[in-house]
Homo-oligomer: A and B are copies of this chain.
């Protein structure tokens, strides 16, 4: 890393491409001036947008390509059509070749993860990647991972997730020792979550200096913000994330319909408008935009595909923070400690599996 944080931006990613990515980058730059950007994509579309943002002058380059991964491309199709040449790939490649410090893309999650694994490869000693989401809670924010990179995880992989999520929490929340818990279900004698129990044993017994392990939490602890980092495998994590998003939309819909029903409730709504705006802001998905791909040999930030410039700016700022406060080193330190304890080294078979 140089003194300036250099971000490669997949300008063609997301539902709106450069028309969101370029203004979003400019917004982020207003708040974090020590950044430069590499916009990757169709120069004819990017150039006029860059010229329209005086703030970007001298702070960015454009790397042209005609090829873009589509939002509905399956990962295998994206890899076949987009490897070596798409805006997504070339942005990742800029990180791989150390021309950039991190990638931000609003492109499709499956394709971005597949290309990231293929281009950047896994970090040494990590078997599986995870997608870490920033989750709004009653206490502020928590980090929840994995919300859908892979399905299932054994105990050691869950421990890796705990270490990686803590490194991210240390940076984002400016904490020395974030609290960490494993997502579980209530009944204590229930069978079958052996890997979750075993991960708890490892986290309790091995001494991880950079995290404060608190045992198990349940689904309703996510919204409470009981701990800073909640660890689970990708299937249940994705279901939790989508269920929370769906429930929030459901309640917003109930509220809208209830408020519009009578003239008295409409008047009440007008008077309490400030309160509703506060609520809206609390629940604004743009404020917490930016999932982080963890476990790869490079920093990759996933922005929501449908976000606007403000939301993309949030994702850019997450990328900035991860580079500025050195996510990769913090993860490696955590994992090194983990290796130093009585953990078995990862088997060649499982490493090969992670690349397949």
Contact = CB atoms under 8 A, between A and B. Distances in A.
Interface of A: 74-76, 109-110, 113, 137-138, 148, 150-152, 183, 185-193, 218-224, 232, 234-236, 238-251, 253-255, 258-259, 261-262, 264-265, 267-276, 278-279, 282-283
Given A221-B246, A232-B239, 18 more contacts: A150-B192, A151-B191, A151-B193, A185-B238, A185-B242, A218-B239, A219-B246, A220-B242, A223-B246, A223-B250, A224-B246, A243-B243, A247-B251, A254-B282, A258-B275, A259-B272, A261-B275, A262-B274
A243 B222 contact: yes
29 contacts: A75-B187, A110-B188, A138-B253, A148-B186, A150-B191, A150-B192, A151-B191, A151-B193, A183-B239, A185-B239, A190-B234, A193-B235, A219-B239, A220-B242, A220-B246, A223-B246, A224-B246, A235-B236, A239-B240, A243-B243, A247-B247, A251-B283, A254-B278, A258-B278, A258-B279, A258-B282, A262-B274, A265-B275, A268-B271
Contact of A247 (B113, B193, B248): B248
Contacts of A185: 148, 151, 234-235, 238-239, 242
A74 B189 CA distance: 7
A219 B240 contact: yes
A269 B218 CA distance: 33
Nearest to A278: B258
Contacts of A193: 151, 235
Contact of A269 (B137, B192, B232, B272): B272
Contacts of A239: 183, 185, 218-219, 232, 236, 239-240, 243
A276 B255 CA distance: 8
A280 to B, nearest CB: 9
Nearest to A282: B254
Contact of A275 (B137, B189, B220, B268): B268
Given A185-B148, A247-B247, A272 B268 contact: yes
Q: Give 7 closest A-B pairs by Cβ, nearest first.
A: A268-B272, A219-B242, A151-B192, A220-B246, A268-B271, A223-B250, A265-B275
The interface centre, meaning the residue of A234, A247, A279 with most chain B CB atoms within 10 A of its CB, is A247
A75 to B, nearest CB: 5
Contacts of A148: 185-187, 190
Contacts of A274: 261-262, 264-265
A85 B9 CA distance: 68
A245 B220 CA distance: 6
Contacts of A248: 247, 251
A104 to B, nearest CB: 20
